[in-house]
Copies of this chain bind each other. A is one copy, B any other.
Amino acid sequence: MPRAGLSTTAVVDAAVQVIDEHGASQLTLAAVAARCGVATPSLYKHVGNLAELRTLVGLRVLDELADRFTEAATGRSGAEAVTALMHAYRAYATAHPARYAAMPVDPLHQPELAAAGLRQLQVIQAALRPWQLGPSAQVHAIRRLRVMAHGFASLESAGGFGLPEDLDETYRQLIDSFLDTL
């Protein structure tokens, strides 16, 4: 019986694939094991349990999004940077709707996820720098940005918009209304 050559990373890879194909609620150790060509209990050599696997997937998603953020923001500043970040956020959620649903919304409250959450935060802070906001105003501005990005992305990726009206236009209005307040 040859060895499958698994690793924690490979297990998380498989978990992400399961989520992409069947939805975040269908993430199951049995499904991941099947995809890895391994018996279910074998996964416990690489992952503590299902809850930990979920956390690792959450971390993966946070990191991926932070990478997109960094990519979108480099070489831009001000309104252009904010717009690029918002589009990167939405693009990630629509490209991987199930994965987006698996992203934890409170990364700063979980030690394993805090670093990835902070990476995202710092990119946004940098984009807002030109406006020279005070500490408190900056917090409120980042929150509003996050509310709009997450609100829109979670609704869109879950099929929550029923009418045929152009969604790009709605998103543009949201971004513009934010920029107008600065």
List residues of A whose CB falls within 8 A of some B CB. Answer: 105-106, 108-109, 117, 136, 139-140, 143-144, 146-152, 154-155, 158-163, 165, 169-170, 173-174, 176-178, 180-181
Task: Across the interface, name the chain B residue whose C-beta is closest to A136.
Answer: B165
For this chain, the copies found in one complex come to 2
Which residues on the B side are within 8 Å of A154 (C-beta)? 105, 150-151, 154
> Which listed residue, B105, B139, B170, touches A165 by the CB 8 Å rule?
B139
> What are 30 residue pairs bridging A and B, where the CB atoms are less than 8 Å apart in the complex?
A105-B154, A105-B155, A105-B159, A106-B160, A108-B162, A117-B162, A136-B165, A140-B165, A140-B169, A140-B173, A143-B161, A143-B170, A144-B174, A144-B177, A146-B151, A146-B155, A147-B147, A147-B152, A147-B155, A147-B170, A150-B151, A150-B154, A150-B155, A151-B152, A154-B154, A173-B181, A176-B181, A177-B177, A177-B180, A177-B181
A97, chain B: closest CB distance, angstroms: 12
> Which listed residue, B108, B160, B174, touches A105 by the CB 8 Å rule?
B160
Q: How far is the CA of A144 from the CA of B149 in the complex (A)?
A: 11
Are A163 and B177 closer than 8 Å at their CB atoms?
no
Task: Across the interface, name the chain B residue whose C-beta is closest to A152.
Answer: B147
Which residues on the B side are within 8 Å of A158 (C-beta)? 105-106
* Nearest 3 CB-CB pairings of A with B: A151-B151, A108-B162, A147-B151
Which of A146, A147, A177 has the most chain B CB atoms closer than 10 A to its own CB? A147
Are B105 and A162 closer than 8 Å at their CB atoms?
no
A54, chain B: closest CB distance, angstroms: 11
Task: Across the interface, name the chain B residue whose C-beta is closest to A172.
Answer: B140
Task: Across the interface, name the chain B residue whose C-beta is closest to A158.
Answer: B105
